[in-house]
Amino acid sequence: MAAISSNDLKNGITLSVEGGLFTIVEFQHVKPGKGGAFVRTKLRNARTGAVIERTYRSDERLEQAIIDKRDMQYLYRDGEDYIFMDNVTYDQVPVSSKNLGSAANFLKETGTAMLILHNDEIIGVEMPPSVELRIAETEPGIQGDRVSGARKPATLETGFVVQVPLFVCPDEMIKVDTRTGEYMTRA
């Protein structure tokens, strides 16, 4: 791991702090009128997503963690593991469902995701902002039942249930926001 100065901190840098990996969300250099300068930071845990605040003295040395982001293609599911293929080396990598988190709701075969690795350990997944998925099952819309803003549940091809407008029918392709898990529009 590389050591960096607290004066060189930037948003998005990942640090190894107290045995955990934390990404800098926000930082601020503070130079009070009396005393030494310091850096106030907000750090997000790369594994759990919890946010903590830390203050460092000016020019304090911190351990920077080397993070590798790889574009991978989802191939299939094998029990509890999801099998991905590295688009560069064509190696197949098993990823446990706990490492994927909510991203598993939006993965379909041949779909792509950005896997975040640290020392060959998968610590997270970045999905595209939206994905197009087919509706596997939903109730048909009833003629005349057009209440403004009314929604109904729809099961997607991945098994995830999303609320959709009444006019959406089974076997239609829809666009879903991967950050919120909400229906966006027809595809």
Q: Which domains does the chain have, with CATH numbers?
A: 2-64 (2.30.30.30), 68-126 (2.40.50.140), 130-186 (2.40.50.140)
Residue 7 phi/psi, 5-degree rounding, is -75, -20
Residue 65 predicted with pLDDT over 90: no
pLDDT, tens only, 149-184: 778 899 998 889 999 888 888 889 999 998 888 898
Residue 52 predicted with pLDDT over 70: yes
CA dist., res. 121 & res. 91, Å (int):
15
How large is the average pLDDT for residues 129-134?
90
| SS3 category, 51 | strand
Please, which residues have CB within 8 angstroms of residue 177's CB and are 6 or more apart in sequence?
A: 129, 130, 183, 184
How large is the average pLDDT for residues 43-60?
86
How large is the average pLDDT for residues 133-154?
78
Residue 89 predicted with pLDDT over 70: yes
How large is the average pLDDT for residues 114-133?
85
Q: How many CB atoms lie within 10 A of CB 29?
A: 12
Task: Give me the pLDDT at residue 20, please.
Answer: 84
How large is the average pLDDT for residues 98-123?
84
Residue 83 predicted with pLDDT over 70: yes
**Rg, Å, the chain Cα set:** 22
Beta-sheet strand order (sheet of 182-186): 161-165, 151-156, 130-138, 173-177, 182-186
Contact status, residue 167 vs residue 147, Cβ threshold 8 Å: no
Comparing CA positions, the residue from 20, 25, 72 lying closest to residue 47 is 20
How large is the average pLDDT for residues 128-143?
84
